[in-house]
Amino acid sequence: MKIYLDDRTLTVERGTTVAAAMLNAGVSVFRESVSGEPRAPLCGMGVCYECMVTIDGQRELSCQTLCQEGMRILTR
Amino acid sequence: MSAVPDVAIVGGGIVGAACALECKRAGLSVEVYEQSTVGGGATASGMGHVVVMDDSEAQFALTHYSSTLWRELAAELPAAAEYLPCGTLWVAADEEEMAEVHRKQSFYEARGVPVEVLDAQQLADAEPHLRTPLAGGLLVSGDCVVYPPVVAQWLLDQAGVTIHHQEIRALADVPAGIVVNAMGAAAPRLSPGIPVAPRKGHLVITDRHPGFVRHQLIELGYLKSAHSASGDSVAFNVQPRKTGQILIGSSRQYGAEHKEIDREILTRMLRRAAEYMPGIGALTAIRTWTGFRASTPDKLPLIGPWAGREWLATGHEGLGITTSLATGRLLADLITGRTPPIPAEPFLPLRCSP
Amino acid sequence: MTGFDLIVAGAGPAGIAAACRAAETGAKVLVLDNNPAAGGQIWRNDIPALWAQRLSNVEVRGGCSVIDDSILAHGVPIVLATGARELFLPFPGWTLPGVTGVGGLQALVKSGFEVRGKRVVLAGTGPLLLAVASLLRKRGASVTCIAEQAPRSALLRFATGLWRYPLKIAQGIELGGSLLGVPYFTDCWVEEAYGRDRVERVRLSGFEQDCDLLAIGYGLVPNTELATLLGCTLQDGFVTVDAMQKTWREGVWAAGELTGIGGVERSLVEGEIAGLAAIGELTEARKLFSRRAAWHRFASHLTGAFALRPELRALPRPDTIVCRCEDIRYNDLTRWTSAREAKLQTRCGMGLCQGRICGAANHFLFGWQDTSVRPPASAAPVSDLMES
């Protein structure tokens, strides 16, 4: 299936989480911390909130969200 | 072994801390007793809103004077105090509430407080996430927001006083010339018979949503929802934090003694907020909590001597942060016999003695 | 929620076992989990076929968080099986992208993260390091080394005690085979991670190593937030239960890592007992007591062997971030004497995760215990709190 990441189009396997798809696409920075540090998934299980991105307009945990056809993901 | 201090303050909330600093500045020796965490009671659970109020002349005098002290202090406060000069915007939903806006306007202007009346469009421009249409509002730009626990600790650091982390079971146990009960809603535990009752409140804090709210927003509809009467009530009252977070309030309950969240009142409170700000439901809530205001029958605090060497600095209801600095000044003046900057009579506890 | 005989919070091994055993007696069971699908952190979408089949009579709702005690209002018995998260200990560089939990990396790989060709350093403690190393190798990663903080002597004592657990020996032999050739160091831990925008190099005790990923795992911390909100009693950080896995809160049972850390088999048997007990099948539940006792012995064996060494407390530098949500640094915290004081004075633990990461770290570093849990149990839309 296809998802949209910022200005890129990605092809992903069914059952892939958004976090995994983003890592596979080479994204290393998921969010900027309060003091401006780059951050990326830490816990992988919905606890740490480091993997928060905007998915179809909502702030979501990318590690807890499965990719859906046509999903739009913004890292900023 | 140190000598017995002139003043012992029981309660390390923001009121106790302000009293400690002012007494120290007045040349008294001071010690503070806090059984738990400095600023960990109502100081931590309130909103941290510094607001000039107009319910009575005495209330105005105290809040206005204290507000001035806050503005003087602002430059000195550490960044963690999260001082935010956002002003208060009183929101009017209809013409009846607009009449209240104009009444407030003349009250404040007559006493030298800068205010600005906003019409419906100006209100929408000032706060784009408010629902439309609303009638307008009154902006009191000198009001501000702080993070009180940090201020309480900072005031104590400035005072440089000894803090005893121990529980006091009787004021008679405290060695000092004067013992000040500054325990907020818990004050009657040490001073039985004082007219202070806990009034429970709920708050919700969100994740960082910078810009969603720009001013402290309070509905004027509380006039109709009887927020000032004795029953349980909720009101639209939201606040921007310096962090970009939003505090959502408010609720008032008498007779509720447990600190657990009351799901029914929380629901009512948030639905009221969503009536005014429909987008608020989509924000991310990260924590809810409750706290207890120290309320008095005439809505004025108790500041001054009570019985023998026992003094009071409590009963600040929802205005403890606003009036803490002025309370410290009044208390120190009363102890040392100086003339207070505003009349102290309306706040003297003896007004309530039977 | 009405119409069910049992609600299970958590769809990991303990929750699945509880749900299946209850459902097999004819009970109508609902399982809720905040992950998209059942499986929990250890199984993810690889639920063993045996359990997957048995789950067919159970309704599982993924992506569903229980945020407060209003779930008790339905009067339906509840089994809590909310599992555990990983313990993270701060060290310089631990906030760099590419540094994950060991279980975290396992979860990411099982949810589609491709690690083929990536150089991975695994560090921390316990058998999970080996299990994840094995998974990573199967997926084509190059595990450049495994650093176990425990001393060699403790591991030997652990290994010689394993004869009592034939299942574990079999698992160990299988793991050993898949890990041939991977350098394995004991008395070894990560001191610092380096990199610009992501981890590039790691300094371990006595040597440095280039890598693309660093996975660290210092053990597990139970997710007790919901149990606390429901009014269960905790002791030493775990939910207190009786022999039937019943908590001190009426109508609430607990199973798995919530009651103690000790692996899948322990969670499964506790889950089975809890599920049966919660619907009143006490005789069936009792039949499982001896199996549970065996896995409890194994768990205490495990805890002793992989105790954390005090040197790990000295890893943070003054400017090392401890609270990642609010970027609170080690030297911001040293003046304070409790979790509450640190929180009020510095914002440590006040962010989105509400101290779920730094809380356990601060317990290890400073001995602080943060017991204050308020709804929502995890961050949720404000509108969720408006539903009465």
| ipTM tops the 0.90 cut | yes
Nearest-by-CA chain A residue for B282: A58
Which amino acid would we find at residue C139? R
Q: Left if phi > 0, otherwise alpha if psi is -120 to 50, otherwise beta: which for C367?
A: left
CB contact under 8 A, B207 and C354: no
B339-348 pLDDT, tens per residue?
999 999 999 9
Closest approach of A56 to chain C, Cα-based (Å)? 15
CB contact under 8 A, B263 and C68: yes
Which amino acid would we find at residue C25? T
CB contact under 8 A, C382 and B80: no
Q: Are B290 and B261 in contact (CB under 8 A)?
A: yes
Q: Domain coordinates of chain C in residue numbers?
A: 6-85+221-302, 90-218, 316-388
Indicate the SS3 state at residue A9: strand
Average pLDDT, consecutive stretches of 10 residues, N- to C-terminus, chain B (354 residues): 87 98 98 97 97 97 98 97 98 96 98 98 98 97 98 98 95 94 97 95 96 97 63 94 97 90 95 97 96 96 96 97 98 98 97 78
Nearest-by-CA chain C residue for B289: C374
CATH of segment(s) C6-85+221-302: 3.50.50.60
Closest approach of C345 to chain A, Cα-based (Å)? 17
Nearest-by-CA chain C residue for B41: C344
Burial of B281-313, coded b for 16+ CB within 10 Å and e otherwise, reads bebbbbbbbbbbbbbbebbbbbbbbbeebbbbb
Interface test with C, best of A47, A52, A64, A71 (most C CBs within 10 A): A47
Question: What's residue B354's pLDDT?
Answer: 64
Check CB contact of B157 with chain C, cutoff 8 Å. Answer: no
Indicate the SS3 state at residue B106: helix
Pair of tokens at residue C245: 């896995």
- Can you state the angle between helices C128-138 and C166-178, rounded to 10 degrees? 40
Concatenated DSSP letters of C243-273: TTSBBSSTTEEE-GGGT----HHHHHHHHHH
* Strand duo B246-254 + B233-240: pairing: antiparallel
Q: How far apart are CA B269 and CA B40, in angstroms?
A: 24
Q: Which residues pair with B139 in a beta bridge?
A: B89, B116
Name the one residue in this structure whose structure tokens are 């609720």.
B251
From residue C72, alpha-carbon distances to B150, C254, C317 in Å are 37, 14, 45
CB contact under 8 A, C34 and A46: yes
Question: What's residue B1's pLDDT?
Answer: 42
User: B197: how many CB neighbours lie within 10 A of its CB?
Assistant: 17
A58 contacts on B by Cβ (under 8 Å): 282
Closest approach of B77 to chain C, Cα-based (Å)? 13
Q: Which residues pair with C245 in a beta bridge?
A: none
Q: How far apart are CA C239 and CA C220, in angstroms?
A: 14
Q: Are B60 and B52 in contact (CB under 8 A)?
A: yes
A50 contacts on C by Cβ (under 8 Å): 324
CB contact under 8 A, C104 and A40: no
A51-63 pLDDT, tens per residue?
999 999 988 999 9
Interface test with B, best of A59, A61, A64 (most B CBs within 10 A): A59
Q: Which residues pair with C209 in a beta bridge?
A: C202
Question: What's residue C159's pLDDT?
Answer: 78
> H/E element holding C160?
helix C152-160
Question: Chains B and C: how many Cβ contacts under 8 Å?
Answer: 84
Concatenated DSSP letters of C162-220: GGG-HHHHHHHHHHHHHTTT--EESS--EEEEE-SSS--EEEETTEEEE-SEEEEE--E
C103 contacts on A by Cβ (under 8 Å): 43-45
Q: Are C99 and C216 in contact (CB under 8 A)?
A: yes
CB contact under 8 A, A34 and C101: no
The confidence band for A76, taking pLDDT boundaries of 50, 70 and 90, is confident
CATH homologous superfamily of B7-61+147-195+297-352 equals FAD/NAD(P)-binding domain (3.50.50.60)
Q: Which residues of chain C carry a pLDDT beneath 70?
A: 167, 169-170, 173-174, 176-178, 388
Interface test with C, best of A48, A66, A75 (most C CBs within 10 A): A48
Q: How far apart are CA B296 and CA B300, in angstroms?
A: 6
Structural domains in chain A plus CATH codes: 2-74 (3.10.20.30)
Enumerate chain C positions whose Cβ falls within 8 A of a Cβ in B.
Answer: 68, 70, 338, 340-341, 344-347, 351-352, 354, 374-376, 379-388
From residue B291, alpha-carbon distances to B49, B249, B288 in Å are 15, 12, 11
B213 contacts on C by Cβ (under 8 Å): none
Question: What's residue B352's pLDDT?
Answer: 84
CATH of segment(s) C90-218: 3.50.50.60
CB contact under 8 A, C104 and A37: no
Check CB contact of B267 with chain C, cutoff 8 Å. Answer: yes
- Residue C342: CA count within 13 A, CB half-sphere: 27
Question: What's residue C94's pLDDT?
Answer: 98
CB-nearest to C104 from A13, A17, A41 is A41
Q: Which residues pair with B218 in a beta bridge?
A: B90, B237
Question: What's residue C303's pLDDT?
Answer: 82
Determine if the peptide bond prior to B305 is cis (ω within 30°).
Answer: no
pLDDT above 90 covers what percent of chain B?
Answer: 93
A46 contacts on C by Cβ (under 8 Å): 34-35, 378
C6-85+221-302 and C90-218: same fold?
Answer: yes
Which amino acid would we find at residue C130? L
Cβ contacts of C308 within 8 Å, gap of 6 or more: C89, C125, C149, C218, C219, C364
Question: What's residue C174's pLDDT?
Answer: 66
For chain B, the chains sharing at least 3 beta-carbon pairs closer than 8 angstroms are A, C
Cβ contacts of C320 within 8 Å, gap of 6 or more: C90, C91, C92, C94, C329, C330
CB contact under 8 A, A37 and C356: no
Closest approach of A58 to chain C, Cα-based (Å)? 10
Indicate the SS3 state at residue C79: strand
**Of the candidates B143, B152, B199, the residue with the CA atom closest to the CA atom of residue B315:** B199
Q: How far apart are CA C130 and CA C176, in angstroms?
A: 8
From residue B216, alpha-carbon distances to B115, B207, B277, C1, C288 in Å are 14, 17, 13, 39, 59
Q: Are B210 and B304 in contact (CB under 8 A)?
A: no
CATH 3.30.9.10 given to domain B88-141+197-293: yes
Q: Domain coordinates of chain B in residue numbers?
A: 7-61+147-195+297-352, 88-141+197-293
Q: How far apart are CA C159 and CA C174, in angstroms?
A: 15
Which amino acid would we find at residue C308? L
